[in-house]
Amino acid sequence: MSCAACFKPVDNDELLLCKKCNCRYHYSCLRIPFEYFKKILQDVKNEWRCTSCTNVTRRYKGDGTPVRTHYEHSPPVPTPADMSICDESQQDYSTIDHSILNPNQTCNTTTTAEFSMEGLASLLDSKLADVKRDLVMIDTKLGATKQEIFAEMKNEFAHVIDRIKTEFSETTDFLSDQIKGFKTDLSIVNRKIRDLEQENSRLNAELQHLKSNPSTKNSGASQEVIEKMHLELNERDQALLLNDVEISGVPEHQGESALHITQTLSQKLGISLEERDIVSAERAGPRKTYSGEDRSGTRPRPLVVRLARRALRDQILRSARVRRTLDTSYVGLPEHSPYPIYVNERLTKTNRNIFWKSRRAGSAAGWKFVWTKEGRIYARRTDSNDSRAVRIQSEKDILRVFGVDPTASSDN
């Protein structure tokens, strides 16, 4: 047995049977409170009629026979409103239609369907009002959230901009200090160069005066003064080269970049040189031709590099001593057979000549070590602790130290 309103099965303890149309209903589907159903409606249960039967206005034909009602033998079709009230948890029993309880009372105002439609419209209006209110609330929250996001983004952008300004200011201050330091160092170097040039000019003038004076030309004292002045001039000239290195063995090509070659070689030595670290880089000396069993042609001139700081020069020289297998491969030169590269400190012409003669004389005399340091030439017989390093400044020192005439050694 199913309910004529919701079409769901009806238990006996929930059943209301219409006496006229025999339709079965849940008491809850008819909006009847449980208390009324148990206490009051039991007395009139056998005489109860559904609202479809009690709200029908009977019409009579001319012969006095009443018109058969449409729902007399068939259950009424429930409206959506009637079906929606089957959920007992959502029923409103504050207002009760007492005509349902009294089968003899006739309601001539509204039908159940009309009442249900009105309730549905009211429910829809209420729901729409709730939805509208929720939408307004959501829009308000979205507006507030948007303002918060904009404010947070603005604060974040302001923070980032302030940080960038601070970092930029610190960077510019640092660069400004560095530039000031470079200017100060450059002015000191320029002043020293001017002083050395003036001293060099003075010594040259004195030397020329002594050479042109016939009365003192052959005297021993004058000769000693001349040699001493030569040594002083050589020392001063060497002091001007304390920031220089000389790179030998690099093939020479037309249109080459000495600066790029220097930077690439320093990378191979494990040292990173920037352009500001290099004052100048160029080939030095005249082109020289040579011939040999392996190769012949023009001997590449050495690369002379002047660095901004002496510490960089010392670091390059230390790295070159460690990496004795340095060659010309992978230095950005045109395709060629790799040649060994030698990196040494730059010497004056006088010191270079004395160093070459010292190596020949030392080799002839059996000395094990001849080297240069800070533009000075040293020799040492053995590597024992008893053997001391001896400085060589002139050709006289070569004869004194090695016991070999440098003139004879150069002739051999």
31 and 64 in a single domain? The answer is yes
* CATH number of the CATH domain containing 248: 3.30.70.1820
User: Tens of pLDDT along 267-304?
Assistant: 988 999 998 999 999 998 887 776 555 555 678 899 99
Domain boundary among 107, 130, 164: 107
Q: Are residues 366 and 318 in the same domain?
A: no
Examine the domain organization and report whether 292 and 381 are in the same domain. Answer: no
Same-domain check for residues 55 and 66: yes
Does 371 share its domain with 304?
A: no
Is 329 found in the same domain as 248?
Answer: yes
254 and 329 assigned to the same domain: yes
Please say which residue of 58, 82, 107 terminates a domain. 107
Burial degree of 84 (CB within 10 A; 0-12, 13-18, 19+): middle
Do 320 and 387 lie in one domain? The reply is no
Task: Give how many domains the chain has, as a whole number.
Answer: 3
**Confidence tier at 104 by pLDDT (50, 70, 90):** very low
Torsion sign over Cα 195, 197, 201, 204:
positive
- 297 domain-assigned: yes
Around Cβ 263, how many Cβ atoms within 10 Å? Answer: 20
What is the C-alpha to C-alpha distance for residues 18 and 48, in angstroms, rounded to an integer?
Answer: 6
> Is position 229 within any domain?
no
Least confident of 87-96, 145-154, 214-223, 235-244: 87-96
Encode pLDDT of 195-248 as tens digits.
888 888 888 887 777 777 655 445 566 677 778 888 888 888 999 999 999 999
Q: Which residues pair with 2 in a beta bridge?
A: 9
Mean pLDDT of 145-170: 90
Q: Identify whether the C-beta of residue 379 lies closer than 8 Å to the C-beta of residue 401.
A: yes
What pLDDT does residue 108 have?
A: 42
Whether the Cβ atoms of residue 379 and residue 369 lie closer than 8 Å to each other: yes
Same domain, 281 and 270: yes
Q: Which two tokens stand for residue 35?
A: 């208390």
Percent of the chain with pLDDT over 90: 21
Q: What is the mean pLDDT of residues 123-137?
A: 86
| pLDDT score recorded for residue 67 | 43
Whether residue 194 is contained in a domain is answered as: no
Given 107, 124, 145, the domain boundary residue is: 107
Mean pLDDT, to the nearest integer, of 313-334?
A: 85
pLDDT above 60 (res 101):
no
Q: SS3 sequence, the chain? A: CECCCCCCECCHHHEEECCCCCCEEECCCCCCCHHHHHHCCCCCHHHCCCHHHHCCCCCECCCCCECCCCCCCCCCCCCHHHHHCCCHHHCCCCCCCHHHHCCCCCCCCCCHHHHHHHHHHHHHHHHHHHHHHHHHHHHHHHHHHHHHHHHHHHHHHHHHHHHHHHHHHHHHHHHHHHHHHHHHHHHHHHHHHHHHHHHHHHHHHHHHHHHHCCCCCCCHHHHHHHHHHHHHHHHHHHHCCCCEEEEECCCCCCCCCHHHHHHHHHHHCCCCCCHHHEEEEEECCCCEEECCCCCCEEECCCEEEEECCHHHHHHHHHHHHHCCCCECCCCCCCCCCCCECEEEECCCHHHHHHHHHHHHHHHHHCCCEEEEECCEEEEECCCCCCCCCEEECCHHHHHHHHCCCHHHHHHC
Residue of 172, 185, 177 lying closest to 279 (CA atoms): 185
| CA separation for the pair 170, 172 (Å, rounded) | 6
Whether residue 309 sits in one domain with residue 258? yes
- The pLDDT score that the predictor gives to residue 324 is 79
Residue 307 is assigned to a structural domain of this protein: yes
pLDDT exceeds cutoff 80 at 404: yes
69 occurs within a structural domain: yes
Distance between first and last Cα of the chain? 138
Q: Is residue 177 part of a domain?
A: no
Whether 212 maps to a domain, the answer reads no
The verdict on 38 and 28 lying in the same domain is yes
pLDDT of residue 5: 85
Structural domain of 288? 242-346
Of residues 140 and 44, more confidently modeled: 140
Residue 102 belongs to some domain of the structure: yes
Looking at residue 367, its pLDDT comes to 92
Among 93-107, 122-136, 257-271, 322-336, the range scoring the smallest mean pLDDT is 93-107
334 with 391, same domain? Answer: no
